[in-house]
Structure 1
Amino acid sequence: MKKLITTIRNIFSIDDLRVRILNTLLLLVVFRLGSYIVLPGIDPNRLEGASDGILGLLDTFLGGAFSNASIFGLGIMPYISASIVLQLLTVAVPQFQKMQKEGESGRRKINQYTRWLTIIITIFQSTAYLSATIPAEAILIDRAFFTFSATVILTAGTIFCMWLGEKITDKGIGNGISMLIMIGIISRFPGAIISEGLARGLNGGLLFLLELIVLFFVVMGVVMLTQAVRQIPVQYAKQVVGNKVYGGQRQYIPLKLNAAGVMPIIFAQSLMFLPALTAGLWANWSADSELASEVGATFSDYTTWQYNVLFGILIIVFTFFYTAISINPKQIADDMKRNGGFVPGVKPGEDTSNFISTILDRITLPGSVFLAIVAILPALASVAGVTREFSQFYGGTSLLIMVGVILDTLQQIESYLRMKQYDGMMRSNRLRGRSRNIAVAS
């Protein structure tokens, strides 16, 4: 406890870090306040809550802003969609590949395209959002005028959220976009704990304590999944330049066990509505409507074993897919060869590329299986009797995002603390006395 208090004191003793933390907290408060401002022309008492599936997942990411029909109803999600589209284009389209290799100017162009694509996606998503989730009886003004004005407001709200995320990245601590998603998820955690505790009551206090213990070990497992790496040793040849010798050092290429992060779960979750949709169309076109209705009901319930088996398979497939487009073993091998590096015992070039690919496949398979297990844990918790709100924190996208963002933020804070220790060494008496001796000798 004393060490924790000392660490907190050291954090706030650094001026730059203290200002960044305060800026982050202020911008997050602004984001949360906007989540409770309802769109003009809506009676909030007549709104329906978000349903299960992808809509419920969006509402979890946005901290209730989606079901509240707030001015931040779509939040940062259109920007996430645009970023994913641009990332896929940099793999499939040569023009975007060339743009990515242009350095800072290329990144600025890609960011500009991402912003414009965000506006386009937000306009389409806001129109669908207004027509599909807001009941007609909740609208107090003319429907056409409401749709136009609400679309403009939702688009402006998404752009403002994007600006908040960029400001957090520049003036605050952590990745701004990820912080906005994380704060939306965490905002629902206290209410989920309270509702679970009330549901258990006094007689279920021991069971509630057991649930918290299980949640603790699940979080530790997700931390291990996020932090686990396989290090590939790389030896650099010595080079003599003038009178100095460069190189000769051994470094490591860290390959993460879960290189794809949370993206496979998001991709798989976005496709899980297709079986129910296909079953609904089948019921309309086929004479065997009873079977189609049964299939639709099965894949509309996220707690059925059929749903979770398909969900897990999709996650494993998308993990391999996203890892393949994120890590290019051939490019890594070419960069190593160009810089005079080699893996001990492996020939540079194609053999190194095949060696890295083999290791990547071996660590991706258990990583993808573990990721699939984490993704279906909320369904298992719900079947075990945990309330739906609290079960969402037993795994899935919510827990992975929270753990990833918190670890990334803590690493940035730790880097500031290390810089402070380095400055303290530069101001130490030993170095100051050494500088005095040098001045006397001169």
Structure 2
Amino acid sequence: MALSGVENLARLPELKKKLLWTFALLAVYRMGIHIPVPGVDSAALADFFANAQNTLFGLFDMFSGGGLKNLSIFALGIMPYISASIILQLLTVVSPELKRLQKEEGEAGRKKITQYTRYGTVLITFVQGFGIAVGLETMSSPTGAPVVLFSGWGFRMMTVLTLTAGTVFLMWLGEKMTEKGIGNGISLIIYAGIIAGLPAAVVNTVQLMTVGEITLFLLLVIAAVMIVTLAFIVFMERGQRRIPIHYAKRQMGRRMVGGQTTHLPLRVNTAGVIPPIFASSILMFPATIAQFSNVQWLKDVSTFLSPDSIIYNILYVGIIIFFCYFYTAIMFDPKGIAENIQKQGGFIPGIRPGARTCEYIDRVLTRITLWGSLYVSAVCVLPMFLIAQFNVPFYFGGTSLLIVVGVAMDFMSQIESHLISRQYEGLMGKAGKLKGRR
């Protein structure tokens, strides 16, 4: 009898232990969000962020789970680690040494790249922390109250060291979560930060319905749209184009090996959530700069590129499509895959091995990436369309919606894999107790 469902957790103490580790480490992260950096007027900072929702500050605050708005010790969240990882991936394409470490050195090479990523995280955190400290000294609330109580180099160094220590601790927390818990720890930290604001959003929506700003019918329509969107995201994230691969039979010693048929799975959304993150960062940059500048043309550009404008959404879709192709080209190597298939004696039916196989895989990947980029663009633009047309709050933006659904699917698949593996272990254990005939 297959093990499935929550009722089976009592029979799997190892899985219970992993889940407890995961939730305990996430609880530590959420507690740290409420520990502020000294020397900041929290009320004035909250007033400032109330007017900065459509800037990079609002985007980073969402990924940090509200830590930037409170200027907590985890204000930068895990985003410096994500940025360092992306930079290392880009450098691997152009650096022969990094490419050799990744492909030839095996586990030792991966550990070396992980170490470089940690160093890059600390460097990025230092730069971002210093920029935040200097920027905070120039900020003031709409009422004119300064955000920093006592500015100067003492405040700057304390802020940089505190934010750097917080990010490094989060990085360690994510690695421990991956090692002792279930799923990818870094992804789960981002997931927890995003959904942390969901209860407040639900309460705010109910209050708007109570005062009559949202009708019950409109609320039901929005809920139906969200359910359909979630189902569509799950369907597309599981979508694959499976290229059949046949392996010829060959003699190895006294055994005949090969002859089986398998497939090469190509995901519809190979690039994941990186394209919308890049696109949002690029388009929100003018609005962020305008927050600290009195230059009129910057303010005009910021107004021109407001999220509810048609120009913003057209540029947003265009940049997402570009980065979907760009990041897919970096992450996926058709030439290397074609060479591996040929070395193992495999071939795609009707396609010659070698260069022809590489061209075929690249052509198929280009086609499905187009549909994947259009799907990501549609999901990212939908919340802005709902806000513009119906003037209702929509907590989950497109990027956060993709992250939440993707991480939840990965988490559940990890639990399912663990349950299945334990089931087969139980079957093998029973088989091992059977005695052979004498």
TM-score normalised to the size of structure 2? 0.91
Q: CA deviation at 1:141?
A: 3.6
- Partners of 2:66 and 2:288 lie apart in 1 by 25
Q: 1:297 aligns to what?
A: 303
Gaps spanning 5+ residues in structure 1: where? none
Helix, strand or coil: the match of 1:255? strand
Kept after mapping to 1: 8 A contact 2:18/2:181? yes
| 8 Å Cα contact 2:308-2:388 kept in structure 1 | yes
> Conserved in 1, the CA contact under 8 Å of 2:57 and 2:288?
no
The letter of the residue matching 1:327 is F
**Match for residue 194 of structure 1 among 203, 217, 225:** 203
Which of the numbers 325, 347, 366 marks the counterpart of 1:320? Answer: 325
**Does the 8 Å contact 1:275/1:296 carry over to 2?**
yes
d(CA) in 2 for partners of 1:35, 1:325: 34
Q: Does 1:109 align with 2:112?
A: yes
Could you tell me how far 1:240 is from its partner in structure 2? Answer: 2.1
What is the aligned counterpart of 1:309 among 299, 303, 314? 314
Q: 1:271 corresponds to which letter in structure 2?
A: I
Partner SS for 1:346? coil
Match of 1:177 among 175, 183, 186: 186
What letter corresponds to residue 222 of structure 2 in structure 1? E
Structure 1 373/32 Cα, relative in aligned 2: closer, same or farther at 3 Å?
same
* Structure 1 residue 143: Cα displacement: 2.9
Cα 1:167–1:283 change in 2 (3 A) is closer
Matches within 5 A, 1:56-95: 56-95=58-97
Post-superposition shift, 1:72? 0.5
CA distance in 2, matches of 1:225, 1:125: 35
CA shift for structure 1 position 366: 1.2
The structural deviation recorded for 1:386 is 4.7
Q: Judging changes above 3 Å, is the alpha-carbon distance between structure 1 residues 256 and 296 closer, same or farther for their aligned structure 2 residues?
A: same
Q: Provide the residue aligned with 1:147 in structure 2.
A: 156
Residue equivalent to 2:18: 20
Structure 1 segment 27-426 matched on structure 2, within 5 A:
27-48=25-46, 49-50=48-49, 51=52, 52-101=54-103, 102-133=105-136, 135=139, 137-201=146-210, 204-273=215-284, 294-299=300-305, 301-388=306-393, 391-393=394-396, 395-426=397-428
RMSD: 2.4
| Count of residue pairs brought into register by the alignment | 424
Q: What CA distance in whole angstroms lies between the structure 1 residues aligned with 2:60 and 2:151? A: 27
Q: Which moved more, 1:340-349 or 1:35-44?
A: 35-44
CA apart distance, 1:20: 0.5
Contact 1:280 1:296 in 2 (8 A): no
CA distance 1:422–1:278, shift in 2 (3 Å): closer
Q: Amino acid of the residue matched to residue 6 of structure 2? A: I
CA distance in structure 2 between the partners assigned to 1:119 and 1:90 by the alignment: 19
Structure 1 length-normalised TM: 0.90
Indicate the residue corresponding to 2:143 in structure 1.
none
Q: Percent identity?
A: 41
Q: What SS class does the counterpart of residue 72 from structure 2 fall into?
A: coil
One-letter amino acid of the structure 2 residue matched with residue 10 of structure 1:
N
Instruction: Decide whether aligned partners of structure 1 residues 131 and 387 sit closer, same or farther in structure 2, where only a CA change above 3 A counts.
Output: farther
Is the 8 Å Cα contact of residues 59 and 67 (structure 1) preserved in structure 2? yes
